[in-house]
């Protein structure tokens, strides 16, 4: 079962699992997911789609649960911050309860946002983070942190088989064109010939992992030995400034867009780069798709859809 299965990451994960001849139950309430993302899978007899909100209990029979349900871009998770927190916390409780009842292995899609605005660089899994608990991003950051707490408490108290992955910036086809994330923002603005919006002076950094690399990491983590539960960072350690990303997008789209500098949003982290040595050691995983190759595939996707 994949919760959030009609979302950007969830739809790619459903595809991957089906390609391995699994039966896949996709669960989504379409808050930020989109039925179009999985429409091409509906004819597959091994694929089942269920409209459901994970903040309510779910009674199905499964042996593996990938819990991806939660809006992940600031525009979506800040639209209804109470619901965002409920999705992370109540959703985790309900999915953990389902895993306990069915004796299923369960993977939590956590986030690099648990590190907040980090005081160490790059970020390693032992770092507890620097998070504002009452800021405008807290519904997402603290919701995901609480979900990790619940996963480990179910692991210690009930012996549940858990896996936790901390996702760093991921991009690729099926990103929502208006999700407010930097890759989709830059590409859409460049293709429209609009000014590219850069917050701050453009020197803040991010690392960008192409979606296929991340999904491969999810599947490896779920299949890993039971004693390895994580959390484990997954992302591309290649670090780029926002200016470097903008320049790459302009070059690949051949756009004449100009750069427009705006004030940095509150609590926006200045640096984000994963240390993936744990994933490399335990899962033999590391990203293989260079940024420019992934950007080209993502640009081609956005050219095909109405933006």
SS3 assignment, position 112: helix
pTM above 0.85, yes or no: yes
The reported pLDDT for the residue numbered 268 is: 64
Mean pLDDT of the chain: 93
Q: Answer whether residue 244 is part of any domain.
A: no
Q: What is the Cα–Cα distance from 127 to 121, expressed in whole angstroms?
A: 10
Strand partners, 262: 199
Q: Answer whether residue 252 is part of any domain.
A: no
Q: Is 301 tagged catalytic?
A: no
Which CATH number do you get for residue 230?
A: 3.40.50.720
For helices 138-158 and 81-102, the axis angle rounded to 10 degrees is 20
Q: Answer whether residue 22 is part of any domain.
A: yes
Q: Answer whether residue 205 is part of any domain.
A: no
Do residues 135 and 266 lie in contact, with contact meaning Cβ atoms separated by under 8 Å?
yes
**Which position among 140, 154, 171, 210 bears the catalytic label?**
140
Find where tokens 């699994």 sit.
22
Strand partners, 107: 66, 163
Q: What is the Cα–Cα distance from 171 to 153, expressed in whole angstroms?
A: 31
Counted domains in the chain = 1
Q: What is the Cα–Cα distance from 99 to 155, expressed in whole angstroms?
A: 11
Range of the structural domain that residue 27 is part of:
2-171+210-237+273-288
The alpha carbon of residue 173 and the mean position of all alpha carbons in its chain are separated, in whole angstroms, by 13
The reported pLDDT for the residue numbered 306 is: 60
Tens place of pLDDT per residue across the chain (307 aa): 999 999 999 999 999 999 999 999 999 999 989 999 999 999 999 999 999 999 999 999 999 999 999 987 777 788 889 999 999 999 999 999 999 999 999 999 999 999 998 888 898 999 999 999 999 999 999 999 999 999 999 999 999 999 999 999 999 999 988 887 899 999 999 999 999 999 888 888 888 999 999 999 999 999 999 899 999 999 999 989 999 999 999 999 999 999 988 887 665 667 778 999 999 999 999 999 999 999 999 999 999 986 6
């Amino acid at each position: 079962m994949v919760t959030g299965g009609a979302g950007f990451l969830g739809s790619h994960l459903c595809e991957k699992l089906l390609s391995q001849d699994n039966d896949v139950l996709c669960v989504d309430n379409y808050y930020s997911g989109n039925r179009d993302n999985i429409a091409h899978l509906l004819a597959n007899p091994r694929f089942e789609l269920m409209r459901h909100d994970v903040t309510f209990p779910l009674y199905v029979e499964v042996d593996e649960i990938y819990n991806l349900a939660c809006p992940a871009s600031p525009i979506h998770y800040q639209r209804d911050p109470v619901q965002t927190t409920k999705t992370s916390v109540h959703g985790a409780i309900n999915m953990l309860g389902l895993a306990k009842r069915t004796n299923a292995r369960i993977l939590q899609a956590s986030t690099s946002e648990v590190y907040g605005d980090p005081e160490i660089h790059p970020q390693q899994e032992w770092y507890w983070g620097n998070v504002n608990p009452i800021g405008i991003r807290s519904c997402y950051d603290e919701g995901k942190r609480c979900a990790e707490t619940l996963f480990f408490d179910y692991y210690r108290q009930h012996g549940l088989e858990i896996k936790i992955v901390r996702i760093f910036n991921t991009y690729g086809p099926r990103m929502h064109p208006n999700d407010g994330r930097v890759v989709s923002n830059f590409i859409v603005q460049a293709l429209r010939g609009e000014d590219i919006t850069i917050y701050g002076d453009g020197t803040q950094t991010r690392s960008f992992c192409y979606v296929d690399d991340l999904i491969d990491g999810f599947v490896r983590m779920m299949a890993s030995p039971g004693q390895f539960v994580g959390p484990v960072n997954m992302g591309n350690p290649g670090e780029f400034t926002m200016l470097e990303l903008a320049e790459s997008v302009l070059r690949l789209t051949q756009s004449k867009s100009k750069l427009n500098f705006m004030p940095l949003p509150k609590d926006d982290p200045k640096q984000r780069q994963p240390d993936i040595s744990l994933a490399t050691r335990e899962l033999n995983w590391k990203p293989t798709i260079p940024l420019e190759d992934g950007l080209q595939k993502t640009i081609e996707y956005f050219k095909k859809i109405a933006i």
